[in-house]
């Protein structure tokens, strides 16, 4: 055990108690209350110290493909596992391939599945930005008689968000919903998907917002991890009674967490080389008629139709699969290395993840994030390296990618939904050049083919 006490874990299997000590400053204790699939916690997450006064720790997922690189098939399989659990809890059905899904989560070979469950009643799946845009989509794709969209932090030109709600503990709190009202003008069940539920306030906030405009009887909150306290669970019950609704909760792990100590304030990052190498840089354009008529106040290149930001039907999802497979074939023309990272950007996670899943062996997937984390290069600590840069989309918002080292990969494919301003790329490019010898910039929507700049 490190004398630095960066992260230690003690587990008492008889009582299901776990203690994580972060950087010798903050201790997080977990009492596991439910683990229906008997999944080892170490397969699902590790922990890191978060640079956030409201919440100084982060459960860093090993299956999501955000802060830690994963096999993209594993991230998609996690969506399948949540879909299977949703079928059991809400619909009383057993997924016919549940055993092979769980085997994949436990480290065995991952087998692709084409099974899609047909729901008795039309359901609307909603993924929460930023982190769960891909997870929500990965749950939705397992169902027929379903539709999907994800919330967004972005401001879309010429469109009004039909529902707005807040996420109190986040560093970027406002969620917007740019979809047609017809998705809500019914009494269909709504399924809210997030990677983690800590208090449940975000879910309750959106339920309150929806119920005030488009009332219905049933909601489900789906997450990988559910850490709601007894008081939080009571708040769910009170909301059910007050609104006259049923709120199901579905997760792979549930437990109670408590903390002692204080969030880590001082910078824990060790001094790193600022050297920027000469990397080979390629720009790749995924052409096609797959764009919407919408753009943003900052970038004029249109959004694409396959992300779910503006809504998707179950039938449209079949086109998404074909689109990603076609994009992968295009990118394989440029692939040179045996070990390749595919890097999604911000909310643009599912299409890169799905595309990466068709790119063969030696592919790893993760995404950039807004989440500020203390990187420390120590064993058993979740975030060993971090690279801050300003967002290429607006040139000012702090973004990061984590857990990448020089020599770790032969190349990187960086996925952008839309073309960005060339000047806004400099910060990110400087960080990418510190790590990757070959940098492939992939743009799915541009105004001017042959240039990364949005002019």
Mean pLDDT of 215-222: 98
- Segment 19-43, tens digit of pLDDT: 988 888 889 999 999 999 999 999 9
Looking at per-residue pLDDT, the higher value among 279 and 172 belongs to 279
Q: Any idea which fold 280-443 has?
A: Rossmann fold (3.40.50)
Cα dihedral across residues 346, 351, 354, 357: positive or negative: negative
- Segment 364-379, tens digit of pLDDT: 999 999 999 999 998 8
Q: Does domain 79-254 have CATH number 3.40.50.2020?
A: yes
Same fold for the pair 79-254 and 280-443: yes
Confidence of residue 164 (pLDDT cuts 50, 70, 90): confident
Mean pLDDT of 110-116: 92
Contact 389, 417 (CB under 8 A): no
pLDDT of residue 6: 44
- Segment 332-362, tens digit of pLDDT: 999 999 999 999 999 999 999 999 999 999 9
**Domain map of the chain by residue range?**
79-254, 280-443
pLDDT of residue 9: 46
pLDDT at 15 over 60: no
What is the distance between the alpha carbons of residues 59 and 28, in angstroms, rounded to a whole number? 10
- What predicted TM-score, i.e. pTM, was given to this entire model? 0.93
pLDDT of residue 168: 53
- Segment 190-209, tens digit of pLDDT: 999 999 999 999 899 999 99
Mean pLDDT of 85-100: 97
Q: Which strands form 218-226's sheet, in the order they lie side by side?
A: 7-12, 17-22, 26-34, 246-261, 218-226, 190-197, 117-127, 143-150, 312-313
């Amino acid at each position: 055990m490190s004398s630095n006490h960066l992260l230690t874990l003690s587990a008492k299997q008889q009582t299901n108690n776990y203690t994580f000590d972060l950087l010798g400053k903050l201790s997080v204790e977990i009492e596991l209350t439910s683990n229906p699939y008997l999944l080892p916690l170490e397969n699902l997450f590790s922990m890191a110290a978060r640079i956030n006064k409201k919440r100084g720790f982060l459960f860093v997922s090993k299956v999501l493909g955000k802060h830690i690189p994963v096999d993209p098939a594993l991230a998609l399989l996690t969506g399948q596992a949540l879909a299977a659990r949703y079928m059991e809890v809400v619909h009383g059905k057993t997924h016919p391939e549940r055993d092979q899904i769980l085997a994949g989560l436990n480290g065995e070979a991952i087998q692709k599945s084409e099974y899609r469950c047909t729901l008795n009643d039309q359901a609307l799946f909603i993924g929460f930005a930023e982190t769960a845009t891909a997870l929500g989509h990965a749950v939705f794709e397992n169902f027929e008689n379903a539709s999907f969209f994800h919330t967004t932090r972005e401001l879309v030109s010429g469109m009004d968000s039909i529902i707005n709600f807040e996420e109190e503990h986040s560093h970027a709190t406002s969620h917007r919903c740019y979809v047609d009202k017809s998705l809500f003008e019914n009494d269909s069940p709504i399924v809210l998907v997030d990677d983690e539920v800590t208090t449940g306030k975000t879910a309750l906030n959106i339920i309150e917002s929806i119920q005030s405009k488009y009332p219905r009887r049933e909601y489900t909150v789906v997450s990988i991890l559910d850490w709601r306290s007894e008081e939080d669970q009571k708040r769910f019950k009170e909301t059910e009674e007050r609104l006259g609704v049923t709120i199901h909760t579905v997760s792979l792990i549930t437990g109670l967490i408590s903390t002692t100590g204080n969030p880590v304030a001082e910078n824990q990052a060790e001094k790193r080389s600022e050297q920027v190498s000469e990397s080979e840089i390629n720009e790749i354009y995924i052409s096609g008629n797959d764009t919407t008529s919408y753009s943003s106040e900052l970038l004029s290149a249109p959004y694409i139709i396959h992300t779910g930001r503006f809504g998707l039907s179950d039938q449209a999802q079949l086109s998404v699969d074909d689109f990603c497979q076609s994009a992968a074939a295009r990118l394989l023309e440029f692939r040179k290395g045996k070990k390749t990272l595919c890097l999604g950007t911000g909310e643009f996670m599912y299409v890169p993840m799905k595309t990466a899943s068709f790119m063969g062996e030696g592919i790893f997937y993760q995404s950039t994030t807004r989440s500020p984390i203390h990187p420390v290069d120590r064993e058993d600590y979740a975030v060993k390296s971090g690279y801050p840069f300003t967002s290429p989309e607006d040139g000012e918002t702090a973004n990061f990618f984590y857990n990448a080292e020089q020599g770790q990969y032969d190349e990187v494919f960086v996925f952008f939904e839309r073309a960005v301003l060339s000047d806004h790329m400099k910060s990110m490019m400087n960080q990418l050049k510190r790590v990757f010898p070959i940098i492939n910039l992939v743009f799915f929507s541009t105004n001017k083919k042959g240039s990364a700049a949005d002019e």
